Structure 1
Amino acid sequence: MTVSTASSAVHITPVVIKTFLAHGKKKALKYKNGDEAEESRDDIFFDEAFNIVKAFIEMGTKNTVESLQAFTNTHVPAPYWAAVSPLRIPLSCCNRAADLLIDWFDPDELKHIVGGERWWQVRGMDGLDAEWITEKEFIANVEIDKSRKLSDDEEDILKMESLDRVMLYIHGGGYFWGSINTHRYQLIRFARKIKGKVFAVNYRKAPQYPWPCPLQDVLAAYLYLINPPPGALHKAVPPSKIVFAGDSAGGGLALTALTVLRDLGLPQAAAGVLLSPWIDLTHSFPSVMKSTETDIIPPHGFLAKPSPLWPIDLLPGKDGRARESITGPPPKPGHADTLEPTQDRLDAEGDSGDASSQPQKDMLEDNSIPSTDTDDAVLDIDFEPKPPKVLMKDSTAVPLELCAQIQLYAMNEQLTHPLVSPVLQGSLGNLPPLYIMAGDGEVLRDEITYMAHRAAHPKDYPVRKGALESERQRRNAKQFTEPTKVHLQVFDGMCHVLTVFTFTESAKFAYRSIAEFVKHVTDNDEEHLARNPFPELHRPPSDLENEFSEHRTRKKKSFFRRNKREEPLHNASEPQDTGLYKEAVETLANEILADGVPGTNAQEVKETIDPGTATRDVPNVVMIRERVDLHGKTRPMEPKEDMEVLQLPKESICLIKEDPCMRWLKGQEEWDRTFRRAAKRAEKKRIKLRAEAERVLNNAKAQGLITVDHPKTPSRPQRLASHQRSTSDTRVNRTIQEDRRWGPLDLGDESPPPSAIAKRTDTREAIALLKKSIYHTAPITHETVPKLKHSDAIRAAFDPHDDPNRPPKQSVSEQQVYPTMLPWHGVRMWDQLVGYFMRESTRKAADKAASSGKQISSTIKGIVDTASPGGSGTKLPETKIKEQNAYTKDKESNGVRAVGLNGHAGEANGHTDGMA
């Protein structure tokens, strides 16, 4: 069964029932035992949503990669109240991004590590899918010139020019699934919160398009924004108005893109928002092993049912998926212990089977690597094993060596490259301000926390010597020493990418914090942000508008009925996030007053925060470290010296270690047993597909295909097919494209990863790419575009994956799937479910607030009665009442609970600030 809405419902329904029953038993047991400890999953709605997401991802691992990609890259129509305008970033922008990456890599790196400079530029589509997203109400009254004929989407793009804040969003999904469709509802929410627009990019995904393909696409999207090509509808967006944002894999790509721009001296974006970024693909941090029960990520990683596409080795070899390491040259095709092997090692590569096994401690002694320190003196440092070698807990054991690729995004030998695992960058300093979010219960918590501190304190957290083999990383470690301004928030009890669970108080607070950060960094100039990039320290505080003060409604049509009903434009619970944010501002102000700010006079800071003299920002704050409880209330993070993750030796960072390796191996062996028959069928399918690809290529050559190793000129005019075709056939675009540099037939001297579609001929998608490159949109290395042979056209007519009259559909890792029937997709079902949880959680919060309000009212009434003439208490002096009234008025005008000169917050009348 493939991944579909129907199969998801069948798989998830029992989970919903089981969760409901288990939840009731758990709550009853806690009540019986008098356990008052609060947990995130005490909330039935979060418990259900958590298990639904976890079950869906688990179901994905029991299906093929292609089916999961197709389901999550199926086009889902946008809500009618959102302005979502699709477009295609042209090949010219992709080429500019490729040139940047070629400049970033040195030639040896491109050859030995990346595998060449052509294969990752090969793509099936004529560009890159993207979307502009905002709410229609933001552009409803914008007038544009309608002298030329434009579509509704094009008109919306022109209207969006009135919005200057841009969030460049990169979606997550383990680098191999997900799309702009799975994240669209979240992105609409971001657009509303920042009162701006979101630019979302549907980058190519692994394993068909592994690293650095997605990175090239992200850079192409940024270049498209700041330097639009001819024909683009938008004007150039200043980098100071762009914020990179991404979740999970998208967060890792966002951070990596920011480092590339920094290294090349290109204009930097205003900031980065990293939501649970995946930045260590070796899984070397402790939380990877400790937090599997509290996270949605599968314990064995992202496995898959075998198919012609994945895994690369459908069946384990004679040594299994892992074996004992051997000394001597690294196993093919990678470089197990050095990033750039010496010529002697390359010459000896064929003799890897002759050496005997050694214990790890002996290998550490025998394999020191010459390295260069900051004084250019040559030293011998301890051997730091690189993938596929595994660091063992027992130094007397023979180290393991991986014989199968463990990540879909990159080969084992590439996992420690700083553009794959950016936590291992030579330096994370000199980057634009970063807002970084993590869940305390997620497996990536430790690597996110460590990365945040590395960025804010480059000198305190240097990278290990084994990561400084390349000249660029050595130079970066010396050059980029300025602290990056970082706001780190770790949310209690939350799992990976908590913003998915939009109905929780934690998520509401997170959305508000992100929105205020984005508005602050895009609304203030560079000089201002150099002093303070944090909106929480802005004085006077930003004016938080109550988005729900006006009674605005929208007409909502039922999906099945034509009747209309009125409902609030936004969910009525959302003013809660404003109140939570204001409380967080006050908490942070108190913390700063208590602890002081390095390099700033304490009295100056006190006067800055004091609402009576608030005229400037709190300066010189490098890092804000906060924990956020289940109700969105912040508190200071514990001291750095008390955090286990910050005490890890740098030599242990980004190494494949025994425990996570054995856990993956156990899962992969279970999958090998369960899907052994499927693997054998996939192997037979590969043989048939190779024969089909060979036939297609031979027929094309017989029909006039001519290619050259290099184009004769940098830019060639478009040419029609070598055989005359009907001019009435407008459905076929048979041309040579001047902006398409390379195709699958131009990679003879390159060594792309074995999963890459560019050089494969054993998958249906690879054959579709080959046909498109030959018959429809050939690169400039082709002299001719041959006519489709009659026998091939007849076969295509009976092939559901092909069509003789138009280019074949490309890989679902790149091209969206468009359903032929009215879609009721799982993404829309999830949105409906979340909407239900939102309404119910709102009702519960309202009931609780009403109950609390009655108690507060009676308490206040008692105080008033006591203080009034004739009361049993002492009446407040008149001067004191005036002071309190003045205090309240001043506090309300600043939009945040006041902090007195003694550093304490206001009392009774400060507790309801900002709660709409």
Structure 2
Amino acid sequence: MGVSTTSAAVHITPVVIKTFLRHGKRRAHKYKDSSEEEEARDDIFFDEAFNIVKAFLELGIQNTIESLQGFTNTHIPAPYWAAVAPVQAPLSVCNDAADILINWFGPRELKHVVGGERWWQVRGLDGVECEWITEKEYLSSDPVNCANGENISQINETISRMEHLETVMLYVHGGMFKIDSKGSVNTHRYQVIRYARKIKGRAFAVNYRKAPQYPWPAPLQDVLAAYLYLIRPPVSAHHKAVPPNKIVLAGDSAGANLCLTTLTVLRDMGLPMPSGAVLISPWVDLTHSFPSVMQNTPTDIIPPHGFLAKPSTLWPVDPLPPSGGRVCPTKSNPPPEPGHADTLLPSKKRVQIERIDHTAGPVQSQEEMLHHPDDQNDSEASGSSSADGEDPDIDLWEPKPPKVLMEDPNAVPLELRSQIQQYATTEQLTHPLVSPIVQGSLGNLPPLYIIAGDGEVLRDEIIHLAHRAAHPKEYPARKGVLKEGNRQNENAAKFTTPTKVHLQVFDDMCHVLTVFTFTQSAKFAYHSIAEFTKHITNENAGLEPFPELRPLSRASVDNEALDEHKKKRSLFQRLKGKVPSSGLHHHQNNGDRLFEDEVTAVTGQVQNFKRKDLSSTETTATVNGDRLEASSSQKDTFIMIRERVDIHGHTRNMEPREEMQCLKISPSQIGLIKEAPAVRWSRGQEEWDSRFAKQAKRVLQSRQQSERKYEALVRSARDQGLLLVGENDDPTNASAGTPGRSTSSNPVDGTIQEDRRYGPFDLDDERPPPSSIAKRRDTPEALALLKMNIYHSVPVTHRTVPKLKASDVVKAAFDPHDDPIRPPQQSVSEQQVRTHIIPGIHGLRLWDAILRYFMEEKTKRARGVVKDRVDRAGILEEQKAGKDAR
């Protein structure tokens, strides 16, 4: 059946009922035990929403990746109060982004680590889908002036009416780089609208290509292209260039990873950087080497075995498990050492070593492998990117299976026989642009506001990331990373200036807490993100990049309850003169000065942070109880704000660094493949292999059918005159005027596009990851991509554009994956799906309705509390006035 609104409703409805019953029992037990400890899930709305999201993700992993991608990337109309203008960053901008990455990698790394420079530039669409988003009430009422007097489209007019909004948030959505409840611009639109409203600006959301069809570095190229589209718009764009200091990058989960890696690329290449970045639950360690990955599973929404999937032609790469299992005892001694994947860029010495048979003799224990005197374990043997000449055999190089670091040093290590992540191959997981936790340096970046949930599985790596950025010298990268990458070694020495960081860890919150918009924690987060964005894009921000130096640590008044507060404004004004000013915290909202938590909720006084010269290397100061770390090398400023936030939006000091276990982990232990998460994944995958064994066999048959269709499509195209550059070396046929060849910048008109560099026929000497559809022949999506690049959006490497035969048109009419007239629908990981049902009843729309219902109910409660407080304050004032009169 796949993932659909109906299947989701059938799966989730029992969960809602069970949660309601369990919640009542749990609250009754707490009341009986006189427990006064407050938890986030004491709120029935959060408890329900938490279990709904968790149930949806569990439904997702019981279906194919394509099915879940299609559901989450279904186009949903925007709400009536939002102004949404879809645009496409064109191929020319994508090419600029590609050139930047090509220069960043260098030729050797491109060839051996990435797998080539062309495959990740192949795409089905004519650019990257993006959206301009803001509130309709923020649009300018001024008419749009056209220089040539021509009328412009409604979309372009909307974009022009946004121009006066200087602050821009470039939002990169999450979704584990591929899928989940947050998988596209559609699933994120309501959150992005909320940000645009709060910053009183505009947002720019990017719908980057997803893995596993478009694995790393394809998504990174698209995010970089979106940023270039803002600061260097092409002639076809209808917006003016946005100054980098008016842009804030923001993203959640995988999107936050892409934001951070984009920043490091911009920094390394000396390009203009944005004013700052907001990282919400960033996923920065794809090896899962931190303890919270195992410890926090019960308190998070992430499935315990990770994001598995029902077998399909796309994934897993091996539908049936390899002989011996996907995880099995190692068959060889190092290299690689336990905990490591083998190198993709071996040195001459390593290639020579592999010519010798190391499988003979007994397999060593882990302890013996880690302390073997043989030179095969040294860094040179394990793979080094030294500048020596390449061995001719390096093109035939095949890395050995990754070894797992065992908890028992006397055990024989396990080895991985299957790819465990869908974003990148196992050998690529420790690349700094895949797992930025292993970057040589995270210094010299713009200010970062980082959010984590204390109950999420990624908590430890997020906390460690924040401290690595703020203290580059105290938290160095693993030596192996520096040895294997010349750029990372240079960065460690070059970028030593601390990045200014504000880290907040929210009590009882799970992964991407901002999804639960109605909770007080999420409201506090949205407010803080908006304040940071407005402050950092202000030219007067100066050396203090965080508005939290003007304390924002008390729970803010809901925007939804604003009318109720305004009605009581006169009473507030009377009370204002009777309450000490030091006991009040004011909050600016829509030009009105509101009393936060209605005067009676104030629990502390604001302490002024007085700047002074700092004599020690590191000093701490307190602002409203918030711990600041300052540096003597940068007087009159600070390095880091470290806070915990309770479920009511109140902050407190984070414990000292020396007491935090995740900061005590040795750099040598970060970015290693460890036993516990590997075994847990293996058990889940074994269950899936058993459960879907028949489906896996059918998948193999489907792949064979797709391969036959692929070969038939190529033969037919050749018969119709398909020629590539370099074929039929008659110079007259290579000219641009040759019949059958034409060039155009217009998309999908059956002509060769000057800005489309490569297609599936241009990858013979490249080695993309096995899941990439660019070079595959055994999936329907690969067929659609090939047909698009032959007949519709043709790269410049083609000489001719064949015309479809009548028989091909008839066949396409009966193929659900094809179309006889229009270009074929591209992969759901790239192109949005147009729903065939009423958009208003799509599951994504229903989820938003649920959240808005919870929000309204919470607001009603808040209004009731406000009314009671105000009424009590009024009665007390009247009683006091009566006493004074007597």
Q: TM-score range by the shorter chain?
A: 0.7 to 0.9
Partner of 1:556: none
Give the Å deviation of 1:327.
Answer: 3.4
Aligned equivalent of 2:409, options 385, 395, 399: 395
Segments of structure 1 that go 5 or more residues without pairing to the other structure are: 379-384, 553-571, 610-616, 725-729, 871-916
Aligned residues: 820
Which aligned pairs between 1:240-319 and structure 2 lie closer than 5 A? 240-319=245-324
Structure 1 distance, partners of 2:701, 2:230, is 46
The range that moved more, 218-227 or 799-808, is 799-808
The range that moved more, 255-264 or 848-857, is 848-857
Change (3 A) 1:371 1:166: farther
Contact 1:324 1:357 in 2 (8 A): no
Q: Secondary structure at the match of 1:494?
A: coil
Question: Is structure 2 residue 719 aligned with structure 1 residue 702?
Answer: yes
TM-score by length of 2: 0.86
Structure 1 distance, partners of 2:823, 2:340, is 39
Partner of 1:358: 364
Give the Å deviation of 1:434.
Answer: 0.4
TM-score by length of 1: 0.84
Question: Is structure 2 residue 851 aligned with structure 1 residue 846?
Answer: no
Q: Secondary structure at the match of 1:6?
A: helix
Q: Secondary structure at the match of 2:204?
A: strand
Give the Å deviation of 1:335.
Answer: 8.8
Change (3 A) 1:783 1:82: same
Q: How big is each residue's C-alpha offset from its partner over 1:327-359, in whole Å with a ceiling of 9 and x where there is no partner?
A: 36769xx99344631224335657777344211
Partner of 1:687: 704
Q: How big is each residue's C-alpha offset from its partner over 1:677-734, in whole Å with a ceiling of 9 and x where there is no partner?
A: 1111111100111111011111111211111369999xx997797399xxxxx99621
Change (3 A) 1:593 1:508: same
Which aligned pairs between 1:135-534 and structure 2 lie closer than 5 A? 135-145=135-145, 147-177=149-179, 178-327=183-332, 336-338=341-343, 340-346=345-351, 354-355=359-360, 356-366=362-372, 367-370=376-379, 388-468=402-482, 469-525=484-540, 528-529=541-542, 531-534=543-546
Change (3 A) 1:322 1:102: same
Contact 1:326 1:357 in 2 (8 A): yes
Aligned equivalent of 1:744, options 744, 760, 763: 760
Q: How big is each residue's C-alpha offset from its partner over 1:32-65, in whole Å with a ceiling of 9 and x where there is no partner?
A: 1111111110000000000000000110000000
Q: How big is each residue's C-alpha offset from its partner over 1:116-148, in whole Å with a ceiling of 9 and x where there is no partner?
A: 000000000011100000001001523321532
Change (3 A) 1:810 1:584: farther
Contact 2:191 2:515 in 1 (8 A): yes
Structure 2 distance, partners of 1:301, 1:165, is 37
Structure 1 distance, partners of 2:777, 2:118, is 17
Structure 2 distance, partners of 1:814, 1:577, is 45
Give the Å deviation of 1:551.
Answer: 6.3
Structure 2 distance, partners of 1:244, 1:649, is 30
Contact 2:334 2:369 in 1 (8 A): no
Give the Å deviation of 1:666.
Answer: 0.6
Give the Å deviation of 1:775.
Answer: 1.4
Corresponding letter in the other structure for 1:123: R
Corresponding letter in the other structure for 1:811: S
Aligned equivalent of 1:807, options 813, 823, 829: 823
Contact 1:88 1:129 in 2 (8 A): yes
Identical amino acids, percent of aligned pairs: 58
Partner of 2:110: 110
Partner of 1:907: none
Structure 2 distance, partners of 1:313, 1:574, is 59
Give the Å deviation of 1:845.
Answer: 2.2
Q: Secondary structure at the match of 2:187?
A: coil
Q: How big is each residue's C-alpha offset from its partner over 1:659-684, in whole Å with a ceiling of 9 and x where there is no partner?
A: 01111111000000111111111111
Change (3 A) 1:202 1:601: closer
Q: How big is each residue's C-alpha offset from its partner over 1:554-608, in whole Å with a ceiling of 9 and x where there is no partner?
A: xxxxxxxxxxxxxxxxxx999999837999999795395799977799999999x
Corresponding letter in the other structure for 2:525: A
Which aligned pairs between 1:532-571 and structure 2 lie closer than 5 A? 532-537=544-549
Change (3 A) 1:154 1:594: closer
Q: Secondary structure at the match of 1:182?
A: helix
Change (3 A) 1:396 1:591: farther
Structure 2 distance, partners of 1:802, 1:708, is 27
Partner of 1:833: 850
The range that moved more, 835-844 or 483-492, is 835-844
Corresponding letter in the other structure for 1:162: H
Partner of 2:584: none
Corresponding letter in the other structure for 2:156: E
Which aligned pairs between 1:75-154 and structure 2 lie closer than 5 A? 75-145=75-145, 147-154=149-156
Segments of structure 2 that go 5 or more residues without pairing to the other structure are: 388-398, 565-588, 627-633
Contact 1:711 1:780 in 2 (8 A): no
Give the Å deviation of 1:466.
Answer: 1.0
Contact 2:340 2:672 in 1 (8 A): no
Question: Is structure 2 residue 728 aligned with structure 1 residue 722?
Answer: no
Contact 2:748 2:793 in 1 (8 A): no
Question: Is structure 2 residue 801 aligned with structure 1 residue 796?
Answer: no
Contact 1:718 1:735 in 2 (8 A): no
Corresponding letter in the other structure for 2:131: E
Contact 1:53 1:296 in 2 (8 A): yes
Change (3 A) 1:114 1:140: same
Contact 1:732 1:805 in 2 (8 A): no
Change (3 A) 1:606 1:701: closer
Q: Secondary structure at the match of 1:168?
A: strand
Corresponding letter in the other structure for 2:464: Y
Structure 1 distance, partners of 2:368, 2:593, is 60
Question: Is structure 2 residue 677 aligned with structure 1 residue 621?
Answer: no
Structure 1 distance, partners of 2:344, 2:386, is 20
Give the Å deviation of 1:216.
Answer: 0.1
Partner of 1:904: none
Give the Å deviation of 1:519.
Answer: 0.4
Q: How big is each residue's C-alpha offset from its partner over 1:626-651, in whole Å with a ceiling of 9 and x where there is no partner?
A: 11100011111111111111111111
The range that moved more, 178-187 or 703-712, is 703-712
Contact 2:365 2:409 in 1 (8 A): yes
Change (3 A) 1:601 1:211: closer
Q: Secondary structure at the match of 1:635?
A: strand
Quote the RMSD (CA, aligned, Å). Answer: 3.7
Structure 2 distance, partners of 1:357, 1:605, is 56
Change (3 A) 1:386 1:687: closer
Give the Å deviation of 1:760.
Answer: 0.2
Q: Secondary structure at the match of 2:249?
A: strand
Structure 2 distance, partners of 1:322, 1:751, is 24
Change (3 A) 1:194 1:434: same
Corresponding letter in the other structure for 1:273: V
Change (3 A) 1:282 1:862: farther
Structure 2 distance, partners of 1:483, 1:583, is 40
Structure 2 distance, partners of 1:232, 1:214, is 22
Corresponding letter in the other structure for 1:515: A
Structure 1 distance, partners of 2:598, 2:116, is 49
Contact 2:379 2:480 in 1 (8 A): no
Change (3 A) 1:196 1:573: closer
